[in-house]
Structure 1
Amino acid sequence: MMRTKSIQWKSFWLAILIVTVFFLTPSMIYANSNGRMKVKVGYVQSANMMERDDRGVKSGLGYEYLQKISYYTNWEYEYVYGEWNDILQKLIAGEIDVMAGVSKTEEREGQMLFPDYPMGAENYYIYVYDSSPLSTKGIQEIKGRTIGANKDSMMEMLLRKWNKEGGYNVDIRTFSGNEALYENFDLNRVDAVVDTDNAITPEDEMVPLARIGSSDYYLAVSAQRGDLLAQLNVAQSKITSTDPNFVKKLSEKYFSNSVVSAQMQKDERMWIEKHPVITIGYMIDYLPFSDVKRSGEVTGMVADVMNEMMQQLHLTSSVTLKYRGFYKAGDMLKALKADEIDVAFPVNDNVAFADENQIFLSSPVITTAMNLVFKGKYSSKKTRCIAVRKGNEIQTSYTIKHYPNAKIKYYETFEEALDAVRTGDADSIIINDLRKDGYLSHARYKQLKSVRLLDYSSRCLAVNAGNNKLLSILNRGITNLPANYSMLATYPYTGRLGSMSVEDFIIEHWAEVFISIAITVMVLTILGSVIYNIQRKRKMLETMAHKDSLTGLLNRRSFDEQMDRMEESVPDNEMLFVGMDLNGLKKANDTLGHAAGDELIQGAASCMKSVLGQYGQVYRTGGDEFVAILQGKHLNWDKIIGELQKTFQTWKGERNKSLSVAVGYCSNDENPTITPREMMMIADQRLYQDKAEYYRQAGCDRRKR
């Protein structure tokens, strides 16, 4: 009897437990028909972190971070919008499942769950508008003023701590979120506000007065959702191991243009006041980086980059830039040590060299690949004797580092060094990627060939050791340069290296030149021929700049220009974006050699051109990445993609037995109002889903792809 009662009581309490769990977890994730799990996400609009435009298109570091997490957890998000404090309370109450950008405090650790890895770190500053009198009076003038902050946030906690420890006696007023905070700031109800370093951009016309603290921020999870926390920790661990720089790349993408990085500190402003003229030393005969015109003026990307840096730092009216050219890097560094110039460019990103010469290096201004140029068929003998332009420290140090046993022969000019390779006086020469194509397009160098070397080379600005104030100013300028500005600034000057010279003309047309001295008619014919060849050369260079040499497809530059032309307009015709990514390229390179990898890339490109070429353009946008933009009327896109997949499946190469390509696509049939960039984003997401499914079925680690 007692045993029967015991069993009955156990059954009763088990039933109570099941009912309790059922009713206490109303927001439990459930699987959709597509197998994805629904997760409620709090979405607080914040500049650069979680934005949403008038059309509902989302962007920002937090949004992209959530998308990346969903790739590994198979979550599907349901967004809940609101102000910061309201969303935070919903998280605490279990009305939403996760919330991005939450700082960890002792109180919050008892209210919600935090994963093993933070999303990032942020600094908190007190800001005022640059038109406010406080912007020029310093932090001491903030005493007794009113400062606004978001309620129950890390910014409020750090502000109160800073106020107490510093004895500033400020009046702290809190608000439910950014909308209320900045509304009161604009109405002058508060004198200053607290915000993060990554939320304020130069367009906001605000300046930081003081840093009050910093903290890590997390993708916080509801206390009732321990199951989600476990999945989140696994996803973060995989992201960290497969893409260690993911968070850093997101920060550079969204936070590089923060007002804090562009706002010079007091000691830097004082240095500028004492040095209104900055003299930059540069290398002559070093296009596209730098050279001198016949008029004596500087030319090359150095002038464009320095002017843009001054503009980004708002120094164009207070700083005058002067330039001085040098034929030898050693002479330029001597002038720097003698304070005859303030800055030297370009200087190799070599810390040991900088230490030896007592100079400080800036952040890299530009990074480029290096190439070995030679005549005839490549062999190890091509590195026995390497030509170097005298005075070119970057070329010299790279050559010594990678070919320590090679004999180095120095020449006065770069053309003389190339001529030495052409005539056999030297076996080879090392040239960076930006100069190679321009020089090798000359007629007299058409017999020269090249192979790309493994290590890249970065170019920096250099200042005297100890001049850390100028170094900080330069680094601020580099940080605030628009994306890819330095690389884009080289393009106008790279083409000049390939212009036809008098010597090139004589080599190709020596008979015509000789005859033209006596025959006027032949002069006209030759002139016509020259004009034609110049145009052909220029067209060839333009083609080289827009085409991928390995596959013959259009390159990344062509794709970016096409996207800029389409901008954000809604296409008139039926359009399809196709994203494609090779599977197993790294494995082929590692096990069969780079020739096998190249065969895969070329094979995939051939398949794409044969199927998709008739409907639009195909681009190679990266090592194993391709994009196609297709247009037409009354086309069956699914059928066309099916034909593409069959072509991939039936392909066979000499070194590879098969070809696998992950594909994702999106057409404006799905949404007539969708823009090209939105279509590209959707196609990219579907591509990664296809790629993830491939590696899941293959049962292999994606890191070894």
Structure 2
Amino acid sequence: MINVYNPAFQVNLSQKYYLHSADAAIITAEDRSWFKKQGTIRIGYLRHMAPFIEEGPDGKARGIFRYLIDHGFEAFDIHNKVEYVPYSDPNAMKRDLIAHAINAALPVYDTPWESERLHILQTPNVLAMQMYRISRTDEPITDDDIIAVADDLPSQTKYAEEYFPNNQLRHYQTENDVIKALHNGSADAAFMNPYLVSIYLQGDNKLKKELLEQTENLTIAVNPDDHPLFMAMSRMNTLWGESSIHESLLRHTDESFIPSFWYFVQSHYKKFLLITALSVMLLTFIIAFAVFRTRQKRQADRIARLDFLTGLPNRRAYDERIAKLEKEPPRHCVISMIDINGLKTANNTKGHKAGDELIRGVAECLEKTIKDPRYVGHAYYAYRIGGDEFTAIWLIDDELYLQMQETFREYVASWKGAYCDFLSISLGWASRDEFPMDSIDDLLRTADKRMYEDKAAYYCRSGIDRRKH
């Protein structure tokens, strides 16, 4: 129920009390003893889940989950031999996990209660991705629509069954078969995460893509008798870091899609005919192919740095900007930290749509401020860095920033949504003009501290119990 009404609860709690603690990389003596006695650790994986995990041309497992485990074992100083066992059937993989034929299985799309019913442990989400609806038209899905799913991507079936239980599912062997079914009308819709879109729909302008609210969550399942292994795997994504995970996803997405010559010809047949007529087919093909691949990488890179709810850059883009500013500090720089007041109450009383509306409202007010004719031309960056947390970086002096902050607060005060009547924020800021000797990291800490002071003052003025708000 906590996750339903406050989706950011687990992330915020982990970041506050655990994820940034040095203890996250420590294994107890009892757990380390278990690893020494265990010997080889057998991990089952689905062989057709690129870029997350797949069986490579050499017959070995490759993908984000493989590198996540490699990095985690290295960070924990675990030297057990790891054997990866490929599966095509997720149910067979679960049966082997329950029967102790393997110690862990990945990736798993089940809900925690399903895993509990099967007496297996499921780690916290390793990856949570927004999904796209793929179809021939922009019309919303109705109960009469046939949804295509690929048998070699079992998470698609689980996703469709969970969020679209009234629709008929039509099974196909591979993702390419699903796309063919959409083109020829055998099915009306399918679901893909952004990385599969990048792999399978490059250059396809006939199919429409619509971003959905529901996410696809992938985890790792472990036999309960192997609890030390479960504890280690539950912390591996924290040790590796969000930026490393996204970079690995981009690399494996790129590896998973290597278009053949005939794929390019079919996708660009008009260009190919023109090249043939001009007798320069080979040279033009090489140039067009390079552009095609560059565009794919650019799109995947953009997706990895985008917050889908607000359209603002995400935490990864924010970290990259801060690193650049630390390396080349600007003469004038103001950093403001923004947090929404009352988001939990909105989620509890009016539902997630109301909470999402407040989050989008902050992004809208920031965008209106920078587009205000009085401030056009000044360097500005805004990011959504957490559930209800935003950071704005302004490369201006304090005098102009105070004017822009007043304008921003005016937009916030006048905001009104479909579900919420008002928007309230807490804001703290710090600048190089005020603290010329401070680093960018120092300014961030000062701005964050002032934001929390502003939030405490808000609750004091309002007479609201912060713990319930």
Provide TM-score, normalisation by structure 1: 0.55
For residues 447 and 565 of structure 1, do their structure 2 counterparts lie closer, same or farther at Cα, with a shift above 3 Å needed?
same
Q: Supply the distance in 1 between the matched residues of 2:270 and 2:215 (Cα, whole angstroms).
A: 44
| Aligned partner of 1:479 among 235, 240, 258 | 235
1:576 alignment partner in structure 2: 334
2:34 alignment partner in structure 1: 268
Q: Supply the distance in 2 between the matched residues of 1:303 and 1:442 (Cα, whole angstroms).
A: 26
1:257 alignment partner in structure 2: 23
2:293 alignment partner in structure 1: 534
1:293 alignment partner in structure 2: 56
For residues 355 and 701 of structure 1, do their structure 2 counterparts lie closer, same or farther at Cα, with a shift above 3 Å needed?
closer
1:428 alignment partner in structure 2: 189
| Aligned partner of 1:562 among 321, 329, 341 | 321
| Aligned partner of 1:460 among 212, 220, 231 | 220
For residues 700 and 418 of structure 1, do their structure 2 counterparts lie closer, same or farther at Cα, with a shift above 3 Å needed?
farther
Question: Which 5+ residue runs of structure 1 have no aligned equivalent?
Answer: 1-241
For 1:390-469, list aligned pairs within 5 A. Answer: 390=151, 392-431=153-192, 433=193, 435=195, 437-439=197-199, 441-444=201-204, 447-454=207-214, 457-463=217-223, 468=225
For 1:364-403, list aligned pairs within 5 A. Answer: 364=124, 366-369=126-129, 371=131, 373-375=133-135, 376-381=137-142, 384-390=145-151, 392-403=153-164
**Residues 291-321 of structure 1: CA distance to partner in whole angstroms, max 9, x if unpaired?**
12223232101221121222123223xx222
Does residue 1:280 correspond to 2:43, yes or no?
Answer: yes
| Aligned partner of 2:123 among 363, 367, 372 | 363
- For residue 44 of structure 2, what is the amino acid of its counterpart? G
How far does residue 390 in structure 1 lie from its aligned partner after superposition?
Answer: 1.5
How far does residue 654 in structure 1 lie from its aligned partner after superposition?
Answer: 8.9
For residues 669 and 345 of structure 1, do their structure 2 counterparts lie closer, same or farther at Cα, with a shift above 3 Å needed?
same
Q: Supply the distance in 2 between the matched residues of 1:655 and 1:689 (Cα, whole angstroms).
A: 28
- For residue 62 of structure 2, what is the amino acid of its counterpart? T
Question: Which 5+ residue runs of structure 2 have no aligned equivalent?
Answer: 1-7
1:314 alignment partner in structure 2: 77
- Aligned to 2:57, the other structure's residue is in SS state coil
- Aligned to 2:107, the other structure's residue is in SS state strand
Q: Supply the distance in 1 between the matched residues of 2:96 and 2:419 (Cα, whole angstroms).
A: 55
How far does residue 334 in structure 1 lie from its aligned partner after superposition?
Answer: 5.1
For 1:200-279, list aligned pairs within 5 A. Answer: 249-255=15-21, 257=23, 261-265=27-31, 268-272=34-38, 275=39, 277-279=40-42
How far does residue 639 in structure 1 lie from its aligned partner after superposition?
Answer: 3.5
Provide TM-score, normalisation by structure 2: 0.79
- Does the 8 Å contact 2:357/2:419 carry over to 1? yes
For residues 421 and 552 of structure 1, do their structure 2 counterparts lie closer, same or farther at Cα, with a shift above 3 Å needed?
same
How far does residue 336 in structure 1 lie from its aligned partner after superposition?
Answer: 4.7
| Aligned partner of 1:600 among 328, 348, 361 | 361
Q: Supply the distance in 1 between the matched residues of 2:352 and 2:66 (Cα, whole angstroms).
A: 46
Q: Which has the larger radius of gyration?
A: 1
- Aligned to 1:261, the other structure's residue is in SS state coil
Q: Supply the distance in 2 between the matched residues of 1:348 and 1:421 (Cα, whole angstroms).
A: 24
How far does residue 660 in structure 1 lie from its aligned partner after superposition?
Answer: 4.9
- Does the 8 Å contact 2:366/2:408 carry over to 1? no
For residues 700 and 307 of structure 1, do their structure 2 counterparts lie closer, same or farther at Cα, with a shift above 3 Å needed?
same
- For residue 361 of structure 1, what is the amino acid of its counterpart? L
- Does the 8 Å contact 2:194/2:303 carry over to 1? no
**Residues 47-68 of structure 1: CA distance to partner in whole angstroms, max 9, x if unpaired?**
xxxxxxxxxxxxxxxxxxxxxx
How far does residue 619 in structure 1 lie from its aligned partner after superposition?
Answer: 1.9
Q: Supply the distance in 2 between the matched residues of 1:290 and 1:497 (Cα, whole angstroms).
A: 10
RMSD between aligned alpha carbons?
Answer: 4.0
1:224 alignment partner in structure 2: none
- Aligned to 2:443, the other structure's residue is in SS state helix
How far does residue 365 in structure 1 lie from its aligned partner after superposition?
Answer: 5.6
How far does residue 410 in structure 1 lie from its aligned partner after superposition?
Answer: 1.2
- Does the 8 Å contact 2:97/2:105 carry over to 1? yes
1:136 alignment partner in structure 2: none
How far does residue 459 in structure 1 lie from its aligned partner after superposition?
Answer: 1.1
How far does residue 560 in structure 1 lie from its aligned partner after superposition?
Answer: 1.4
2:5 alignment partner in structure 1: none
1:621 alignment partner in structure 2: 385
- For residue 232 of structure 2, what is the amino acid of its counterpart? R
**Residues 230-275 of structure 1: CA distance to partner in whole angstroms, max 9, x if unpaired?**
xxxxxxxxxxxx9799766533135462575354447514523xx2
Q: Supply the distance in 1 between the matched residues of 2:414 and 2:360 (Cα, whole angstroms).
A: 15
- For residue 461 of structure 1, what is the amino acid of its counterpart? A
Q: Supply the distance in 1 between the matched residues of 2:255 and 2:16 (Cα, whole angstroms).
A: 36
- Aligned to 2:221, the other structure's residue is in SS state strand
| Aligned partner of 2:447 among 666, 678, 683 | 683
- Does the 8 Å contact 1:619/1:627 carry over to 2? yes
- Does the 8 Å contact 2:138/2:208 carry over to 1? no
Q: Supply the distance in 1 between the matched residues of 2:260 and 2:422 (Cα, whole angstroms).
A: 47
Q: Supply the distance in 1 between the matched residues of 2:138 and 2:92 (Cα, whole angstroms).
A: 37
2:405 alignment partner in structure 1: 641
For residues 667 and 476 of structure 1, do their structure 2 counterparts lie closer, same or farther at Cα, with a shift above 3 Å needed?
same
How far does residue 665 in structure 1 lie from its aligned partner after superposition?
Answer: 0.7
How far does residue 327 in structure 1 lie from its aligned partner after superposition?
Answer: 2.4
For residues 487 and 573 of structure 1, do their structure 2 counterparts lie closer, same or farther at Cα, with a shift above 3 Å needed?
same
How far does residue 533 in structure 1 lie from its aligned partner after superposition?
Answer: 3.1
Q: Supply the distance in 2 between the matched residues of 1:656 and 1:356 (Cα, whole angstroms).
A: 39
How far does residue 366 in structure 1 lie from its aligned partner after superposition?
Answer: 0.6
**Residues 15-36 of structure 1: CA distance to partner in whole angstroms, max 9, x if unpaired?**
xxxxxxxxxxxxxxxxxxxxxx
- Does the 8 Å contact 2:159/2:216 carry over to 1? no
- Does the 8 Å contact 1:368/1:434 carry over to 2? no
How far does residue 458 in structure 1 lie from its aligned partner after superposition?
Answer: 3.9
Q: Supply the distance in 1 between the matched residues of 2:468 and 2:376 (Cα, whole angstroms).
A: 29
- Aligned to 2:451, the other structure's residue is in SS state helix
- Most deviating of 417-426 and 680-689: 417-426
- For residue 310 of structure 1, what is the amino acid of its counterpart? F
- Does the 8 Å contact 2:25/2:76 carry over to 1? no
How far does residue 414 in structure 1 lie from its aligned partner after superposition?
Answer: 2.3
For residues 548 and 405 of structure 1, do their structure 2 counterparts lie closer, same or farther at Cα, with a shift above 3 Å needed?
closer
Q: Supply the distance in 1 between the matched residues of 2:429 and 2:376 (Cα, whole angstroms).
A: 13
2:105 alignment partner in structure 1: 344
- For residue 674 of structure 1, what is the amino acid of its counterpart? D
For residues 446 and 460 of structure 1, do their structure 2 counterparts lie closer, same or farther at Cα, with a shift above 3 Å needed?
farther
Q: Supply the distance in 2 between the matched residues of 1:695 and 1:437 (Cα, whole angstroms).
A: 44
Q: Supply the distance in 2 between the matched residues of 1:246 and 1:634 (Cα, whole angstroms).
A: 31
- For residue 560 of structure 1, what is the amino acid of its counterpart? D
- Does the 8 Å contact 1:374/1:382 carry over to 2? no
For residues 383 and 298 of structure 1, do their structure 2 counterparts lie closer, same or farther at Cα, with a shift above 3 Å needed?
farther
Alignment length (residue pairs): 452
How far does residue 649 in structure 1 lie from its aligned partner after superposition?
Answer: 4.9
- Does the 8 Å contact 1:498/1:541 carry over to 2? no
Q: Supply the distance in 2 between the matched residues of 1:473 and 1:457 (Cα, whole angstroms).
A: 20
